[in-house]
Amino acid sequence: MPTLTCFNAYDIHGKIGEEISEDIAYRIGRAFGEYYASRSVSIACDIRLTSEALNQAVPSGLRDSGSDVIDIGLCGTEEIYFAVFHLNVDDGIEITTSHNPQDYNGMKLVLGCARPISRDSDLTTLQHLAENNAFSSLQMPGSLVHDALLNAYANYLLDYVDSTAMRPLRLVVNAGNGVVGHLIDALNARFQADQVPCTFSKIHNRQDGTFPHVAPNTLLLGNQADTASTVFNTGTDIDITLGDNCNRCFFFDANCRFIDDYYILGVLAWALLCKHPGSKIMHSQCYTWNTIEILQRASGAISQRRTDHVFIMEMIRQKHTIYGGEIISPHYFRDFGYCNSGMIPWLRLIDLMSLAGRSLLDMVDERMAAYPCSEKINYSVAPNEATLERVFDRFAPPPANGGGSC
């Protein structure tokens, strides 16, 4: 019984052909449907070249377990969250591997109401079922229907902005050739139809699974150059750079300055607390002083948690938290089923910019000066063991001096 190494802490992903394949995807679908006795499952996939094949295999496994499958087509992870509670299905699966390299793929799994699955819940059990590959016989396979939700989701997102109060704004939106391009087009069309005075300048908006311009990782500094140069050349008010499967978003202000999520978290938390005083905000332990000061000013309840996608999704649900944020951009909203979204943050930001009559630069400048922080810095070291020993030696507590007090 070979071990399936594609099962990780809170999702499934691995190298195509080595850790994940169509056969493994079928077995995961079969294990999922049989274990949860799912009556109905929504499924979708991102734009990666290997996603379509996996999106054929997983539904086959689900249907052979007796589950009815609703395929909503090409879309980002947050659209699967939306599909689960919009269609009122039992579960959802998105074929994606977020910002991992192009030769990787995988899937994210959620239960009813878009509740996440992790090692702390049932992911290990699903792994063992898929590894054993010993499933019960089935008399009647489930059905398969296709139901695109693009228009429904675009209409849902429009509720996050007050179109009647929107002031003229110039937006740069970089979709990175990911799956989100069609959703940007749909929102742009809705804005025009409703006469919302926002102008979209789109970068790399065409869906292309080869990612011809940048790798599917918006965190890499080299992937931000196109966005910054467009802001500089066009004089836009805000830039929005989206993850390839729409699960994350990053921002530049009108001065081409990259705005760390540390400060975006503070802006969104303040805005939500103004509308919902005393509500609880959950944030990563990496985001401290600026966030704490803002929450104290706004009389918000503070809840710090470790950085972990599924862990935070589970905790904000348990704590009924209105909003949560963590490092590398995931933003979680109670009014979006406690799930993370790459679209809702920028819609809330432009709505706030209009209502407050302030630019993004104005909203974050004071906070960046008061609590400066660097971008994420990575170092390559060798050997790691020797480096860790040096760190432990440097920061070890001083030895006891045998007496006295401090």
- Asked whether residue 389 is assigned to any structural domain, the reply reads no
One domain for residues 169 and 140: no
Total domains present in the chain:
2
CATH of the domain at 40: 3.40.120.10
Residue in 98, 118, 279, 329 annotated catalytic: 98
In the predicted model, is pLDDT for residue 405 greater than 60?
Answer: no
Task: Work out the average pLDDT over 6-22.
Answer: 93
One domain for residues 124 and 164: no
Decide which of 148, 180, 208 is a domain's last residue. Answer: 148
The CA angle 104-106-107, to the nearest 5 degrees, is 155
One domain for residues 169 and 144: no
One domain for residues 188 and 236: yes
Going by DSSP bridges, is the β-strand pair 144-146/91-95 parallel, antiparallel, or unpaired?
unpaired
Please report the pLDDT score of residue 306 as a whole number: 59
Rounded CA-CA distance 355/365 in Å is 18
Residue 319: burial class (beta carbons within 10 Å; 0-12, 13-18, 19+): middle
One domain for residues 123 and 175: no
Decide which of 91, 118, 148 is a domain's last residue. Answer: 148
In tens, the pLDDT along 252-269 reads 888 888 888 889 999 999
One domain for residues 188 and 165: yes
Please report the pLDDT score of residue 406 as a whole number: 32
In the predicted model, is pLDDT for residue 379 greater than 80?
Answer: no
Rounded CA-CA distance 261/6 in Å is 29
- Asked whether residue 377 is assigned to any structural domain, the reply reads no
Closest listed residue to residue 169, CA positions, set 224, 231, 225, 227: 231
Decide which of 110, 126, 148 is a domain's last residue. Answer: 148
Most confident of 60-64, 97-101, 245-249, 362-366: 60-64
One domain for residues 125 and 34: yes
- Asked whether residue 105 is assigned to any structural domain, the reply reads yes
98 is catalytic: yes
For 284, the token pair is 């990563």
Rounded CA-CA distance 350/354 in Å is 6
CB atoms within 10 A of CB 274: 12
One domain for residues 138 and 160: no
In the predicted model, is pLDDT for residue 222 greater than 60?
Answer: no
Find the domain containing 211 and state its range: 152-367
- Asked whether residue 381 is assigned to any structural domain, the reply reads no
In tens, the pLDDT along 161-171 reads 998 899 999 99
In tens, the pLDDT along 286-317 reads 767 888 888 888 776 666 555 567 777 888 88
Tracing tokens 């009815």 back to the chain, one arrives at: 68
CB atoms within 10 A of CB 235: 8
- Asked whether residue 280 is assigned to any structural domain, the reply reads yes
List, in order, residues 6 or more apart from 139 with CB less than 8 Å away.
Answer: none
Residue 41: burial class (beta carbons within 10 Å; 0-12, 13-18, 19+): buried
Closest listed residue to residue 161, CA positions, set 360, 339, 350, 357: 350
